[in-house]
Structure 1
């Protein structure tokens, strides 16, 4: 299965000057639960923000300018190459904006954390045709900044 996983604000912000522009306790729990034991594909800038391969999963970085290596960490030059390298494992595309834009037409599912706040930033999650997906709200978490776990499943 090819999926993407993202958190974005009400105004679809996913980043600001190369970093995630919020710190919300527990918000990344779903990311860990879904991706552990699977394959995470991310762009160079997303990887540089994290700074290391993610534990207990294969990390594939898409970059044409840098090469990253480490335990369970690989670099390829395209999303297509990343999917081929992943083989039969479930793939979770985790940013950034250009990689999301390229992935939306091919993903079966989108796991979205919808943050219920307008946040300043310079990087947006791309628009997509919501009519091509079935939207399911899985869970709503109320904290100082509330958010919902939403799954978009592509219609057959």
Structure 2
């Protein structure tokens, strides 16, 4: 499975000045639950914001200039190279904006935290055609910063997709 994981506001803001412009209690726990024992692919700036490899998962950083010598963390020069490194493992693409834009057409699922406010920022999640996705609301939270956990699953012939996955496993 190839998935994308992101939090964005009503106006699709994902960042401001290289940082996430909000704090959501429990958001890191959800990210950890989804990505542990899998592969996380992120851009250089996203990695620099975290500042270290993520424990209990392979972290692949996409960068043309960065060099990393850490356990369970490697650098790839492109999304294609990162996906080859990940082989047939579950992959979670976790930002930034350019990586989301490149990945949105190849992922099977999107795990989205949708914040119910317009927030000021300078980095945005790319526009996409929601009609190509089945949308499931996993949870809703009401408070000072109300938000929903959504899972988007790409529409399509599930039988053909299962055959494709079986074919990939046999190779």
Instruction: Give your verdict on TM over 0.5.
Output: yes
Distance 2:74 2:24 in 1: 29
- C-alpha contact 1:140 1:147 (8 A) present in aligned 2: yes
- C-alpha contact 1:69 1:75 (8 A) present in aligned 2: no
> How much has 1:143 moved relative to structure 2?
2.9
> How much has 1:63 moved relative to structure 2?
0.4
> How much has 1:128 moved relative to structure 2?
0.5
> How much has 1:79 moved relative to structure 2?
0.3
Q: Deviations over 1:62-113 (max 9, x none)?
A: 0012122311000000000111101121000000000000000100000000
Distance 1:71 1:143 in 2: 39
Instruction: Name structure 1 gaps, 5 residues minimum.
Output: none
TM-score by length of 2: 0.89
Distance 1:65 1:108 in 2: 29
- Secondary structure (helix, strand or coil) at the match of 1:29 reads helix
Name whichever structure is richer in helix by fraction.
2
1:86-101 matched pairs, under 5 angstroms: 86-101=86-101
Distance 2:143 2:75 in 1: 37
- Coordinate RMSD, CA, aligned: 0.8
Distance 1:46 1:40 in 2: 11
Query: Which has the greater radius of gyration?
Result: 2
How many aligned residue pairs are there? 156
Moved over 6 A (4+): none
Distance 2:124 2:131 in 1: 20
TM-score by length of 1: 0.97
Instruction: Name structure 2 gaps, 5 residues minimum.
Output: 157-171
